[in-house]
Amino acid sequence: MAHLEPEIRKAVAARLRYYNEMGIYDFYQRPAEQVLDQRFAASTPLEEPETMPRTKVVAAALKEDSLAEPVIARPESGISDPVEALRVIREDIGDCTRCRLHKQGRKQIVFGVGNPNADLMFIGEAPGADEDIQGEPFVGRAGQLLTNMIKAMGLGREDVYIANIIKCRPPGNRTPERDECETCSPFLMRQISVVAPKAIVALGAVAAKTLLAINAPMAELRGRWYDFRGTKLAVTYHPAFLLRDPRQKKETWKDLQMVMREMGLPMPSKGVE
């Protein structure tokens, strides 16, 4: 970086400041040898890869350059209280206008809910109509099923943390577009960093593919653990899908049992209803 031309340094500094203003503070690059499976090597990633090295090296080089302004630290950096850190992230989001969804009928930002010190985090796709009205993720029919899934694990909603890839309802509950996920997911990454769960459950294909940067069918994504920035991540079906196809509840219960074993939770005999 120190050997780049001044014009290029200025351009890089401007780009980093732009991302800071978008709420993006950390960047990652996955080495080719860390591809999880050769079957996925040719897949199209849905998000910036998530492992080493970080651009802190770039930031340090920019700080030494009198032509570039220092890269801004995340607002929640140095805050030890997760409640306060999450509040700062929510404040940073503001009444977000970073993507097209603010013009397409969303009523409010749906940030996240639950225990800020949770060992287990559930991540879904996007808010629906009920969530958009109430401002809380998973409160509609799919949310009621998720609550039952959590209860089947011997936990309550107050024991876990729940969030979505994007924080605004897409019109008609359509699937979020790639650029919407890319714009909004950095705030989720910051929430994950603050909560620091021991395990994450990605609910549905959009959440799984965005978090893992793997384009594969659910049948191939389920049934195994992934390393997500040092945290174990499992994939299962989205509760909304289970409402459409209740036959998959048995498969979902298998996924949840895998999570329970990993977390040392007692195994109840009754599954997801």
Query: Which one has a higher pLDDT value, 248 or 8?
Result: 248
Return the higher-pLDDT residue of 235 and 6.
Answer: 235
Under 8 Å between Cβ of 79 and 88: yes
pLDDT tier at 268 (50, 70, 90 boundaries)? confident
Mean pLDDT of 145-152: 98
Residue pair 118/195 in contact by the 8 Å Cβ criterion: yes
pLDDT given at position 211: 97
Contact call for residues 25 and 190 (beta carbons, < 8 A):
yes
Of residues 244 and 24, the one with the higher pLDDT is: 244
The tens digit of pLDDT for each residue in 101-118 reads 999 999 999 999 999 999
Q: What domains, with CATH codes, occur in the chain?
A: 79-263 (3.40.470.10)
The residue with greater pLDDT, 119 or 43, is 119
Segment 161-166 mean pLDDT: 98
Q: What is the mean pLDDT of residues 212-237?
A: 96
Q: Which residues contact 121 (CB under 8 A, 6 or more apart)?
A: 160, 161, 162, 163, 192, 195, 197, 199, 200, 201
Is residue 53 over pLDDT 50? Answer: no
**More reliable by pLDDT, 213 or 1:** 213
The residue that leads in pLDDT, 228 or 30, is 228
For helices 178-195 and 205-212, the axis angle rounded to 10 degrees is 80
Residue in 144, 166, 33 with CA at minimum distance from that of residue 96 = 166
Higher pLDDT, 268 or 51: 268
pLDDT, mean over the chain: 84
Q: pLDDT, tens digit, for every residue of 83-98?
A: 999 999 999 999 999 9
* CB atoms closer than 10 angstroms to residue 237: 20
> Residue 240 and residue 242: Cα distance in Å, rounded?
5
pLDDT at 2 over 70: no
Q: Is the pLDDT of residue 17 over 90?
A: no
| Nearest CA among 179, 207, 187 for reference residue 22 | 187
pLDDT for residue 58 is more than 50:
no
